[in-house]
Amino acid sequence: MNIVVTGGTGFVGGELTKQLTSEGHHVYILTRSPEKHEDTESVTHVGWLKDDYHPEEHLPAIQAIVNLAGESLNSGRWTEERKRSILNSRIQATEGVIELIDLLPEKPQVLVNASAVGFYGNSKTKTFTEETTEAAHNFLGNVVYEWEERASKAVEKGVRTVYVRFGIILGEEGALPKMILPYKFMIGGNLGSGEQWMSWVHIDDVVGLIDFAIHNKEVEGPLNGTAPNPKRNKDFGKILGDVLNRPHWIPAPAIALRTALGEMSTLLLDGQSVLPKKAVAHGYHFKYPELKPALESILSK
C-alpha cells in the first residue's frame, strides 16, 4: 500500500513508519520542511501546508492516510495563546488532509485520524467506552470535538474514517521520561490524591492499533487507543517505582501542581478510565495489556 502520514517525523509517526515499511508499504510523510529529511527506498518526504507546496502533484495513488499532526499538549503552560495554538494546529492539519483528499484523483480507502481520551472528560467513578457520544465541556473536550469534526468531512467523501482516541502513550519519548524523573531523584509519589485514573497505552500498541484500523474494514468512527487495564495514579506510581527500584512515597500536593502549571495541571491531576471496547470486539490483541510488563519493556532498554 501507499500510505500518507502527517506528523510522521514525530515520536508516534517515527515508530509507525518503521512498522509500515517493515510490512512492505511505502510511506509518504507530509512535512512543512521536506528538505530537512532524507528519503529512502520506502519513505518519501513531501512538502505541504505552504503555498509553494502541492503534495497531490507528488503522490501516487494513495490507499490510506494517517493524520498525527498537532502541537504537543505538554510543551508549556496553557496560556490563551497556547490553547489557540494547540487547537489551531490540529484544525489546520486536518483541514489540510481533507483538502488533499479532494485533490487526489483517486480517493484513499481510509483516514485514520489521531484523537484523544480528553473527549470523555474527567471522572474518578465512571468508565468510558466508544459508546459515550457527548464530548466533555472543557478545553480538551472541545479540542477533540473540533478535531474529529474536521476529520469527519472525509466520511462525506466516501472515505472510511477512524478517530483513534489515545490515552497516555508510554515509550522512550513522550510523557514517560518526565514521569520517571522524580523517581530517579527518589522523590516519586502520588500526584494530588492519587485517585485519578490513568488510561495508558504502550507505543507498540499505538502503532498496532493504527495498523489495525488501516486494515480492518469493519472499524470506523471512534476507536479507543488505550490498554484494557487503566490504573489509578497511586497504583501506576507504585508499579513505576517497583520497575525502577525506587520508592513511591513523597506526594506532590494538588495545590502546588495547580499553582506551578495552571490549567495544564489537569493532565496530571485529573483523568478518566477508558476501555478499548471496540478494538477488543473486533479482534485486536494487545501486546501489552498490563502495565508492569509494558514499563519493563521500555525501561529495560
Residue 143 has pLDDT above 80, yes or no: yes
Which triple of cell numbers denotes residue 271?
483523568
Superfamily of domain 2-296: NAD(P)-binding Rossmann-like Domain (3.40.50.720)
**Using 50, 70 and 90 to split pLDDT, how confident is the model at 294?**
very high
Task: Specify the pLDDT at position 34.
Answer: 94
First to last CA, the chain: 32
CA–CA distance, 201 with 174 (Å, rounded to integer)? 12
**Is residue 75 scored above 90 in pLDDT?**
no
CA 89 vs CA 11, 49, 70, 237, 265: distances in Å: 17, 11, 5, 32, 21
Helix (H, G, I), strand (E, B) or coil at 4: strand
Say whether 116 sits in a helix, a strand or coil.
strand
Average pLDDT over residues 123-129: 97
**Res. 250 pLDDT band, cuts 50 70 90:** very high
Given this model, what pLDDT does residue 301 score? 75
Average confidence (pLDDT) over 23-27: 98
Assign 251 a pLDDT band (cuts: 50, 70, 90). Answer: very high
Partners of residue 29 on adjacent β-strands: 5, 45
Read off the pLDDT of each residue in 12-23 and give the average, rounded to a whole number: 98
Q: How many CB atoms lie within 10 A of CB 251?
A: 17
pLDDT at 74: 84
The pLDDT score that the predictor gives to residue 203 is: 98
Answer yes or no: is pLDDT of 25 > 90: yes
Residue 298 has pLDDT above 90, yes or no: yes
Q: Whole-angstrom Cα distance, residue 167 to residue 119?
A: 11
Report helix, strand or coil for 172: coil
Residue 150 reports pLDDT greater than 90: yes
Q: What is the pLDDT of residue 76?
A: 80
Q: Which of 226, 99, 68, 223 minimizes the C-alpha distance to 160?
A: 223
Side-chain half-sphere CA neighbours of 117 within 13 A: 28
Q: Is 146 exposed, middle or buried (0-12, 13-18, 19+ CB in 10 A)?
A: middle
Give pLDDT, residue 279: 98
Q: In the numeric block, which cell numbers belong to residue 78?
A: 496553557
Average confidence score pLDDT of the chain: 96
The CA angle 196-231-131, to the nearest 5 degrees, is 85
Question: What is the rounded average pLDDT of the residues 174-201?
Answer: 96
**How much is the average pLDDT of 30-52?**
95
pLDDT tens-digit readout, 82-119:
999 999 999 999 999 999 999 999 999 999 999 999 99
What's the pLDDT score for residue 154? 98
Q: How confident is the model at residue 276 (pLDDT cuts 50, 70, 90)?
A: very high
Residue 243 has pLDDT above 90, yes or no: yes
The answer to whether residue 219 scores a pLDDT higher than 90 is yes
Helical axes 176-184 vs 233-244, angle rounded to 10°: 70
Which pTM was predicted?
0.96
Mean pLDDT (whole number) for 178-201: 96
